[in-house]
Amino acid sequence: MNIFIVLFILLINIVNIFAMYKLLGNDIGKKEKVIFIAVGVAVMYMIVSAVYWLSSIGMNEQAADAGRDFITFTFVPVNGLCILTFLSSSYKKYKAGRLKANILRNRCVALIGVLIILLIVEFFYFKNIQNNALEMLNNNLNNEINTTQTENNNAIENNVTESNNIVNNTVSNDTEVNTTENSEVDNNTELNGAQNENANNTEEQNGSTTEDAETNSTVNAIVSNVQD
């Protein structure tokens, strides 16, 4: 709990105990005062705890436990200030002989009636607090689920993106390899074409040489015939 809430709860408990101690007066011994205060606070604690337990029936356990300590230690002194302080004053007058037993009894009955009304109001208030706590827990749970789903979706998208990148890189590499192979084939084709052209040129040169030789032979034959 927040430190300010803890200090507030501690303060109202101290105020409750101090008010009861002062209202019991100086005629009652310290031991009797301590016993009166201890019994009154203990009874009030058990009553508030019982009302809170009744209000939590059928409620989610986490929601019921969320505000148990805060509510109990807050409403025990609140009820004490409303009931036990008046009871302390009446008890002091009774011990001093200024209040008859039947009047003290009637005041106790009246205080019990007031306490019952307070407890009924507190019952519905406790239930409302637990419903609000349950709503907060559900909202937190939904937020956690949504966050988890978002993280999972992002992780899946990242995995898909990485897989696509790997596939694209592989395809690019294969394309580069194929392009290189095609370039090599084109180079080989050009080389073969150049070799074929060289061969054709050689054949043409050989043919020209043969024709020249035949021509020379014919000329020589003609010269020989003329000389004869």
Domain range for 109 is 3-129
For residue 152, tell me if it sits in a domain. no
Same domain assignment for residues 74 and 165? no
Same domain assignment for residues 123 and 13? yes
For residue 219, tell me if it sits in a domain. no
Same domain assignment for residues 164 and 124? no
Q: Is 181 helix (H, G, I), strand (E, B) or coil?
A: helix
Same domain assignment for residues 198 and 85? no
Q: What is the pLDDT of residues 174-225, one digit of tens each?
A: 677 667 666 766 666 776 666 667 666 666 666 666 666 566 666 566 656 5
Same domain assignment for residues 12 and 101? yes
Q: What pLDDT shows up at residue 209?
A: 62
Exposed / middle / buried, residue 75 (Cβ in 10 Å: 0-12, 13-18, 19+): buried
Asked if the model's pLDDT at residue 57 lies above 60, the reply is: yes
For residue 216, tell me if it sits in a domain. no
Q: What's the mean pLDDT in 148-170?
A: 81
Q: Is the dihedral of CA 219, 221, 222, 224 positive or negative?
A: positive
Q: Is 96 helix (H, G, I), strand (E, B) or coil?
A: coil
For residue 166, tell me if it sits in a domain. yes
pTM over 0.85: no
